[in-house]
A and B are shown apart, each in its own frame.
Chain A
Amino acid sequence: MSAARKEIGPPVIELGTIGWLRKNLFSNWYNSLLTIFGLYLLYILIPPLVNWIFLDANFVGSTRDDCSNEGACWIFIQQNIKLIFYGLYPTEELWRINLVYLILLISGVYLLIPNLRHKGWVGAFLLIIFPIICVVMLSGGFGLEAVETRLWGGLFLTLVIAGVGIVLSLPIGVMLALGRRSKLPVVSLLCTIFIEIWRGVPLITVLFMASNMFPLFMPEGVNFDKLIRALIGVMFFSAAYLAEVVRGGLQAMPKGQYEASQAVGLTYWRMMALVILPQSLKMVIPAIIGSFIAIFKDTTLVLVIGLFDFLGIIQFVGTNPDWLGFSHEGYVFAAAVFWVFCYAMSWYSQRLEKKLDTGR
């Protein structure tokens, strides 16, 4: 009697690790087959990779003779680290770049920590004063020695191009999106043409145009350097993409929001700045960050017009006769760095999306 009354728990095979394995990996015969195939795939991929990257790799040394050639030779990266991170920037001036990084890091961390006060001021500092600091610190002036942009390179140059592209293209993109949605036919038509042209062509042709055609457009004596021309190209290109993202947000706004703000007598610009844009930009934040990731990855293309960005410099270092034959290490290192940046951005966007998803 009492035995029958005792509650009977679920069978062991549905519980714990075994239950989980049964449910997720071996639920039927073809799933089991797939699992075995997956395990095999991991077996042929992971151990050799781990061996190459870590176990058989050389980390200490100063020349290529210190490499055993059994695994990766990270000495290659280590010996060229200054070139890879800063390009040909003069060594005694490197503190200027590091200071800029430090300011950015401190204010960035400040903005990321929740529940701190004066975030608005820090943001304003980053958007208005920080760019000026950057220009002065990096290119020189006010008693600092001038450093030509042709000496800029490496990860530093990549961050400059991506940073300028991201910061400048957002406002232009918003204006283009507003223009395209405008009721004034001329404005709307011009913005549409502008957006579609930039979006319809590959970035590489834009960069070719920037390096070959820009000099022809300018009056005599006006000579932009190569970096600025590339920056202008990247900026317009990404602005066009952002414009379409922002337009998506504008279109998703319920009509009532427009009508309500007009009903309380807001002018067009106030309506946009106070009611429409804050809501619609919030809606498309994931897509905007997606565009930022794309810009960041696209900065690698500047190497075709002869700028040595992160990838370009790694490619260049690999052609150094002392270090021939280490392209694998270079590419893997570059891939890891790019991956960390891009993945961090997409992780942050997912987090933000969850945090901002308050409306529903």
Chain B
Amino acid sequence: MAEKSNLKKQTCAQSTRKMSAKKKKHFDVSFYHDWCKACGICMAFCPQEIIKADKNGKPEITDTDSCIGCRFCEIHCPDFAITVSDRKPKRRQNDV
């Protein structure tokens, strides 16, 4: 019985390791709209084409999970208005 549970634990550990290896890395992109001048560089050069203009012509992302974290938008933003960061796990339910 003890052996069986050990085996189960091992297989479980293996499967989770496999899962973690396959798990996609996520990024958060935040736009500081007060400093943005809507020049459109981030929207034009995004390799995933996920940065879209909102009604003011300023960038927004709806599909954040597709971001590959190349940081092109961050280093090419002339106004320091974009920050790309690694996604951290949410601590509480109502965390933003």
The judgment on whether A and B are partners is no
